[in-house]
Structure 1
Amino acid sequence: MVKGCLFFDIDGTLVDSTKTGEIQEEVLEAIREAQRRGYACLICSGRSLAGLSQYRDIGMDGYVFSDGAGILIEGQDMILDPIPKEQILKLIEQAKEYHAELFMSSLHTSFASQEQYQMMKEWEAILSKDGKEADLGLHSLEELNDDPILESDICFKSPAEEQIWLAVKDPSLEYINTTASYGRNGGTSGELTHIGVTKGTGALLAAEMLGCDRANTYAFGDSMNDASMLKECAYGIAMGNSAEELKKIADYITTDINDRGITNALEYYGII
């Protein structure tokens, strides 16, 4: 039985991805101390499992990935809740009609339309360093196969096009608008999962799998796709560098990611 579960977003929370893909040693030591004191520490990210490859050897107790559509905890069966294939095909057709870009993630691979493909190839190059090549399993959308899709990003060139699409969006899809966190040069962006699947539901299911009561769950995030886990967990912590909308729903606002944000929050709650 663990004392509590701590769920950490990656980009903007554990990692300042504008500067590096690495977690600061001070943050890693704070996490290790929490673990020594009986807390389970898990990553809870919108990234696919392939996108978490560089964080699989840092000693975390589990991973909630693809916005809650996948859960991996050592010694337990992996949980996957993909978007039904028929909805994926319908989404691709709608994206063409409404001039939207898609980035779809399965367990080990991802499929992107043209602009997203180029952007993710650049991101893959940023993550590759010190002779170690990052591999996001990236393919063009035309190469889409039968791999179950767990999560999809969608980007529109204007808010008007997003609103038109929302009017016809399939109700079996969960949608989070992430424009406030990821500026799109006048456009809008969002993330899609199977209905009822969010980072928040994934975090609570992972906590249950670890025998942890909801009353002892803590979520750390910075962007609007973290809102569900800040709401669902007993304690929602927003980084000082968070989107203003996220700060409004947080139980506690810690300092900036580069100003001991994680460590200060863990100390505030008496976890370390």
Structure 2
Amino acid sequence: MKVIVFDLDGTLLDTKNEIIGGEKTLSLLNDYQESGYRLAICTGRLDHDIVAINRKYHLGITERISQNGAVIYQGNQLNAALLDKQAAVKIYDLLTEYDVRVEMNTVSNRYWMSPRNPDFPKEFYDSSIIKEDFKAIIPYQPVVLYLVVGKEECLKEIQTVIKQKFTQVDAILTSKTSLEIVPLHISKGEAIRTMYPEDEVYAIGDSESDLAMLEYAHRFYYVKEEVEGTICVESILAALEKIKEE
């Protein structure tokens, strides 16, 4: 079976949340589905944001990877890699010692201590819940990850401490101002390996987190950047046209 897996922001969607390539891209995606390809969206967003885009553009995609590989939806089943409860509490206690913004993701919600800055990326479906203290929530909710926002120097210090103290979690700098604390061995690549062990996967992405799919993809199309082992393309539309030529 052939599968096309692609990222959302910067790959399928532009900064206005419109489809890159417009109707041509939508038409090609529809053609692939009609010819027997399976399609999957793979993103750092929560699952409900994939559902929102699916509904908005009538994509008909039923297989989804969210939270950078921690949550998988396939065959009407949802599987999630979760932080250990005791570790989640200890990590939270540690984070409160720093001058940073801490957000907590469950499978279906984001918990915030205060409203987000308007410059933050917005959810397509608002699942945010504001709580001043996460400690009372953790025992009852499936905690997937912490998103920590702050100055780069501080985040690097937190990253080092987390990796030293917690052997079953990873701390990944996703930008100069953001750090994600997730269960160990979570990535978009591991997600497609789990979902499609015997399939021929064509992956399309535009960011560092997408490169984790390279090892498990038959072809990897990287948007607007030359990276060893990938096929550089101008857009998802160009990638879809190249796959058609295979």
Give, in whole Å, the separation in 1 of the partners of 2:62 and 2:94. Answer: 39
Give, in whole Å, the separation in 2 of the partners of 1:37 and 1:8. Answer: 18
Instruction: Quote the residue 1:92 is aligned against.
Output: 92
1:197 equivalent to 2:186? Answer yes
Instruction: Quote the residue 1:19 is aligned against.
Output: 16
Structure 2 residue corresponding to 1:207, chosen from 196, 200, 205: 196
3-state DSSP of counterpart to 1:52:
helix
1:147 equivalent to 2:141? Answer yes
Q: 1:123, CA displacement in angstroms?
A: 4.5
Give, in whole Å, the separation in 1 of the partners of 2:78 and 2:161. Answer: 33
Instruction: Quote the residue 2:227 is aligned against.
Output: 248
Give, in whole Å, the separation in 2 of the partners of 1:271 and 1:171. Answer: 45
Q: 1:163, CA displacement in angstroms?
A: 2.4
Question: Does the aligned pair in 2 maintain the 1:200–1:230 contact within 8 Å?
Answer: yes
Give, in whole Å, the separation in 2 of the partners of 1:92 and 1:165. Answer: 12
Query: How many residues in Structure 1 have an aligned counterpart in Structure 2?
Result: 235
Instruction: Quote the residue 1:176 is aligned against.
Output: 172
Instruction: Quote the residue 1:184 is aligned against.
Output: none
- Flag the 1:51–1:266 CA change in 2: closer, same or farther, 3 A: closer
Q: 1:149, CA displacement in angstroms?
A: 1.6
5+ residue gaps, structure 1, are 128-133, 180-186, 256-260
- Tell me the TM-score normalised to structure 1 length: 0.77
3-state DSSP of counterpart to 1:270:
helix
Question: Does the aligned pair in 2 maintain the 1:42–1:64 contact within 8 Å?
Answer: yes
Question: Does the aligned pair in 2 maintain the 1:237–1:250 contact within 8 Å?
Answer: no
Larger relative strand fraction: 2
- Flag the 1:154–1:197 CA change in 2: closer, same or farther, 3 A: same
3-state DSSP of counterpart to 2:132:
helix
Alignment of 1:15-164 (within 5 A): 15-16=13-14, 18-21=15-18, 24-57=22-55, 58-75=59-76, 77-114=77-114, 117-119=115-117, 123-124=121-122, 134-142=124-132, 144=134, 145=137, 146-157=140-151, 159-164=152-157
1:263 equivalent to 2:244? Answer no
3-state DSSP of counterpart to 1:103:
strand
Give, in whole Å, the separation in 2 of the partners of 1:220 and 1:192. Answer: 25
Aligned identity (percent) is: 23
Question: Does the aligned pair in 2 maintain the 1:50–1:108 contact within 8 Å?
Answer: yes
Deviations 1:12-55 (A, max 9, x none): 00001x22355633222111112222211100111111232312
- Flag the 1:108–1:7 CA change in 2: closer, same or farther, 3 A: same
Deviations 1:197-249 (A, max 9, x none): 111111121213xxx43xx1121111122121233323221112xxx5xx424
- Flag the 1:21–1:138 CA change in 2: closer, same or farther, 3 A: farther
Give, in whole Å, the separation in 2 of the partners of 1:22 and 1:264. Answer: 13
- Flag the 1:197–1:191 CA change in 2: closer, same or farther, 3 A: same
